[in-house]
Amino acid sequence: MSTPPRAASVGIAAAVTVLPDGRETARSCGLSEDDAAVCDAEDYLQVAVGRGDDPITTLAVPAAALAVRHSGYRPIDIDLVIYAWTHHQGSEVPAPHSRVARLLGAHRAVTMGVQQMSGGGSIGTEIAADMVNSGRYRCALVATADIFDDTAQTRWVERGSRGILLGDGATAMILDREPRPLTVRAIASAGRPDTELQFFAAFAPDNPIRDTSESKSLNPRAVPVMRAAVTEAVTDVLAAAGLAPDDPRIELVVFSRLGRTLLRRVYYPALPPGLPRPITLTGETGHLGAGDLLANVSHLQDRRPITPGAYALLVSIGMGFNTTAMLVQSTP
C-alpha cells in the first residue's frame, strides 16, 4: 500500500503544446463515409500530423524552449528534466531525455526518461512535482513528444475505433515553488498492472484470435479494475487537498484525450458522485501519447482559465495501467 499523497504547493511557471503544421481529418485522408461517421461519433475533428521520424528536434526541443522562455528562466536554470515518449524517437537516440536536455541547453540538469505509454507525462509530472515540493530541485521541466507516422487506416480506423486516435505533437511544462497563476495542490497515482494481459482481448494469452476487430476491442474483464484505479486516484487527490467531490470550488474535470465511447462507458462512471461533468478536449488534437495531461494544463492556462481560488481536476489514464489525478488551483 502506497503512502497517501500530501498537499503540495508547486507553481506551474509555464505549460505549452506544440503541434506540427500538418492537419488531417477523417474525410481528408480518404476514409469511407461509414468510417468517417464513426469518427464523428467519437468527437474526432482533426489531428496534427508530423513528418519524419525525429520528434526530438522537430517538436520536443522547440516545445521545451518555448516553455522555458514563457517561464522567465534560462535553460541553464533547469535542474531537473523528465522526458516521456511512447513511440520511436529517431535513429541512434539511446537516451532521448538526455538529448532533449543537451539540445535545450539544460546542461546541468539531472535527466530522466519515462516510457509509461500514455501515462508517461503524468507520472513524470508527479515525480517532478514531488521533487520540487520537497525542495530537492528548484526548477523542473517535464516534456513529451511523439510522431506516430501511422497510415490513415491505422490512425483513424484501427486505433480510433478503440478510442485512441493518436495525434502528433509535443508538450512541456515548467514547475517551481514560486507564486504562479496556476498551482499544483495535489497529485496522486493508482496502478493496476494486473490488467496488462486483460486490457485488450488480443493481449490475453488464452485468446487464439489476435488480429480481428473483436480481439482489439476493450476486454470487459478489465473495466471494473481500471475504474477502481480512477476512483482511487481521484479520491486520494481530493483527500490530500481537503476537498469533497461536491465542493463548489471544483469547476472543471478534464480527462485524457480519448474517444467519447471509451470515456463515457468506461471511465466517467468511476468518478465519485458530486464532481462536475467532465469536459472533452479530444476533438482538435486526438490523443497526444504521453502528453495529454500537460496539454490539458496548457489549455486551462491559455484558453479556459478557472475562477481565482477555484480548482480543476485533471485525470490521466492509458495503456501504462496507471491512473494519475492532479488538482490545480487558480491563484486566489
pLDDT tens per residue, range 8-27: 799 999 999 999 999 999 99
pLDDT at 54: 78
Q: Whole-angstrom Cα distance, residue 87 to residue 269? A: 30
Q: In this predicted model, which residue has the larger pLDDT, 94 or 233? A: 233
Radius of gyration of the chain (CA): 19
How far apart, in Å, are the Cα atoms of 3 and each of 6, 189, 277, 284, 327? 9, 11, 29, 37, 18
In tens, the pLDDT along 135-146 reads: 999 999 999 999
- The whole-number pLDDT of residue 93 equals 79
- Residue-wise pLDDT for 297-312, tens only, equals 999 999 999 999 999 9
Asked whether the beta carbons of 295 and 285 are under 8 A apart, the reply is yes
CA dihedral 120→274→232→5, nearest 10 degrees, is 80
Domains of the chain (ranges; CATH) run 10-176 (3.40.47.10), 182-330 (3.40.47.10)
Instruction: Give the global pTM.
Output: 0.92
Kindly give, in sequence order, each residue whose CB lies less than 8 Å from that of residue 13, ignoring residues fewer than 6 positions away. 70, 71, 72, 73, 139, 174, 175, 176, 178, 180
Whether pLDDT at 325 is above 70: yes
Cell 478503440 appears where? Answer: 162
Residue-wise pLDDT tens digits, 210-269: 444 444 556 777 788 889 999 999 999 999 999 999 999 999 999 999 999 889 988 999
With cut-offs at 50, 70 and 90, classify the pLDDT of residue 318: confident
Give the up-direction half-sphere exposure of residue 319: CA atoms within 13 A in the CB hemisphere.
21
196 in Cβ contact with 321 (< 8 Å): yes
Q: Measure the CA–CA gap between 244 and 238, rounded to whole angstroms.
A: 7
Nearest to residue 302, comparing CAs of 62, 76, 66, 120? 66
Q: How confident is the model at residue 94 (pLDDT cuts 50, 70, 90)?
A: confident
- Calculate ∠ Cα 310-314-317, nearest 5°: 170
**Which pLDDT belongs to residue 208?**
43
160-172 pLDDT tens trace: 888 899 999 999 9
